[in-house]
Structure 1
Amino acid sequence: MTNAAQKIERKIVGYRVKASDDTQAASPVPESNVIQMNESVERPDVLMGTTYKLKPPVADHAMYITINDMILNEDTDHEQRRPYEIFINSKSMEHFQWIIALTRVISACFRKGGDVTFLIEELRSVYDPNGGYFKKGGVFMPSLVADMGAVIEKHLKAIGLMEDEEMSEHTRQILEQKRIEFESQGKRSDEDGGYPANSTMCGKCSTKAVIVTDGCSLCLACSDSRCS
């Protein structure tokens, strides 16, 4: 026999499925108290900070990028480390105004919460009209702003907000074998990054590590392959 319909007088705050042999009335599940990053979250007195040194060849002085993180839901199953603010310091005053503006905008995005990984793509797509530069390891940076985006990406991966795409050991062995074969043809390795000296730019990872082997272009840095 089915139970008669009952009118709900109070606000529903939770539910659970009642088993067939459950003779007790279903008790509401407590509303979750999980705190998400938002603009109304009050800044604590102490934040965890990480400082990254950035010395691009186009600048006379190094830049020090500090990202402070906030711990949400500490000591619970929902504990999460989120970026809260960013500061950039340098002896050079050449870019002072736009660096201050950039850090304030990025910090505001951090505090707003949600998915902040979009910032990386936006920053790394900024191109300097005077041309970019190569970092150690053969990685090309189209601008100083793009290099800052790379630092933020590194930090988000370190705190677990982004996944670092790890290359399998098998793929690493294949790429190393290809590199050795390519160098054995008389093309010496570049000191910067260990990639062949006449390798070209990879459109996927922006690293000067693309060689032509077996009729295909192969990136020795990210394994991207294209055949004509």
Structure 2
Amino acid sequence: MPSIEQKRVIKIDQAIVSYKVITAQDTAEAAIKAVEHNQEKRAEPCLETVHENLSRPDFLMGSTYKIKTPMSEHALYITINDIVLNQDTPHEQRHPYEIFINSKNMDHFMWVVALTRVISAVFRKGGDVTFMVEELKAVFDPKGGYFKKGGKFMPSLVAEIGESIENHLKMIGLIKNQSIDSHQQKILDEKRAEFDRRSATQKELVSSNPVNNSAVNDDNGGFPANAQLCNKCHTKAAILMDGCYTCLSCGDSKCS
């Protein structure tokens, strides 16, 4: 007789409506399915991810971005090094691993070193690091921002560092480019063509009066010198046409 410890007691809380006797064939089929499931699981590739214990390789791929602000005569050079995950496989992906900022201007040395260490730590933590772009771009200088070459407004130097990181993440595929849809692009092209026609008719007037507001300013990214700041892309590219401001850079329009 089996002991009390060997007996399996099952408490039935509901009414029995059907039953099935498990045969040896059912047991064999279940075993075969379990083996097949384990084989499929082993066949799945074990993808590499960035984590805190990931050791630094001897070689890293990197890109350097130059920042030249009107606030300093010396430029900043931002270098972002990437680690390549799942190399030589269909799942190959570059992930930022560390960042360095160098400049002849040592006025901001302490906070630049602190910023690079914090950003590098976030990179090596792994996961989604794209959130940091918006955090950096939202930093405003209490002394006021500046317009970079091309007419785009930067609220602070930290914000432009964030934009450089954003450009890098777009380049390696972690952030997708948000392109203008074909319909909006067609309207934008028509408005730009109309502006070019108007500018051509005023060419003689512009040559006799270089400060004419309808001229195109090369320092403003090729946009009109009298263009207003776009609230969406923060570029001085919004022009008044047909009683409505339309941005020639991102296509944003109050009329749409």
TM range, smaller chain: 0.7 to 0.9
Q: TM-score, normalised by structure 2?
A: 0.76
- The RMSD of aligned alpha carbons is 2.6
Equivalent residue in structure 1 for 2:172, among 126, 149, 159: 159
| AA aligned opposite 2:194 | E
Residues 123 and 23 of structure 1: CA distance in aligned 2, closer, same or farther (over 3 Å):
closer
Q: Is the counterpart of residue 135 in structure 1 residue 148 in structure 2?
A: yes
Equivalent residue in structure 2 for 1:33, among 46, 49, 70: 46
Equivalent position SS for 1:217? strand
Q: Is the counterpart of residue 125 in structure 1 residue 121 in structure 2?
A: no
Residues paired across the two proteins, number = 213
C-alpha contact 1:179 1:195 (8 A) present in aligned 2: no
Higher mean alpha-carbon deviation, 48-57 vs 93-102, is at 48-57
| Alignment deviations for residues 48-68 of structure 1 (CA, whole Å, 9 cap, x no partner) | 111111111111211111000
1:75 to partner: Cα distance: 1.5
| Alignment deviations for residues 59-101 of structure 1 (CA, whole Å, 9 cap, x no partner) | 1211111000001111122211100000000111100000000
Q: Is the counterpart of residue 85 in structure 1 residue 95 in structure 2?
A: no
Equivalent residue in structure 2 for 1:4, among 22, 40, 52: 22
Partner of 1:96: 109
Partner of 1:11: none
Q: Is the counterpart of residue 220 in structure 1 residue 248 in structure 2?
A: yes
* Aligned mates of 1:50, 1:40 — CA distance in 2: 24
1:170 to partner: Cα distance: 5.9
Runs of 5+ consecutive residues of structure 1 not aligned to the other structure:
7-21
1:166 to partner: Cα distance: 2.7
1:180 to partner: Cα distance: 4.0
Which consecutive aligned stretches of 4+ in structure 1 deviate over 6 angstroms post-superposition? Answer: none
C-alpha contact 1:179 1:196 (8 A) present in aligned 2: no
Equivalent position SS for 2:94? strand
| AA aligned opposite 2:32 | A
C-alpha contact 1:190 1:196 (8 A) present in aligned 2: yes
1:176 to partner: Cα distance: 3.6
| Alignment deviations for residues 93-146 of structure 1 (CA, whole Å, 9 cap, x no partner) | 100000000000000110111111111101111111111111121111111111
| Alignment deviations for residues 174-222 of structure 1 (CA, whole Å, 9 cap, x no partner) | 3243134346175222222111221111111111111222333211100
Q: Is the counterpart of residue 209 in structure 1 residue 237 in structure 2?
A: yes
Identity of aligned residues (%): 55
Partner of 2:124: 111
Q: Is the counterpart of residue 190 in structure 1 residue 224 in structure 2?
A: no
Partner of 1:16: none
Q: Which has the larger radius of gyration?
A: 2
| AA aligned opposite 1:194 | G
Higher mean alpha-carbon deviation, 142-151 vs 165-174, is at 165-174
Equivalent position SS for 1:45? coil
Equivalent residue in structure 1 for 2:87, among 55, 62, 74: 74
Q: TM-score, normalised by structure 1?
A: 0.84
Q: Is the counterpart of residue 148 in structure 1 residue 161 in structure 2?
A: yes
Equivalent position SS for 1:128? coil
Residues 170 and 2 of structure 1: CA distance in aligned 2, closer, same or farther (over 3 Å):
same
* Aligned mates of 1:65, 1:213 — CA distance in 2: 39
User: Which is richer in helix?
Assistant: 2
C-alpha contact 1:67 1:86 (8 A) present in aligned 2: yes
Residues 2 and 76 of structure 1: CA distance in aligned 2, closer, same or farther (over 3 Å):
farther
Equivalent position SS for 2:238? strand
Runs of 5+ consecutive residues of structure 2 not aligned to the other structure:
1-18, 203-213
* Aligned mates of 2:216, 2:194 — CA distance in 1: 11
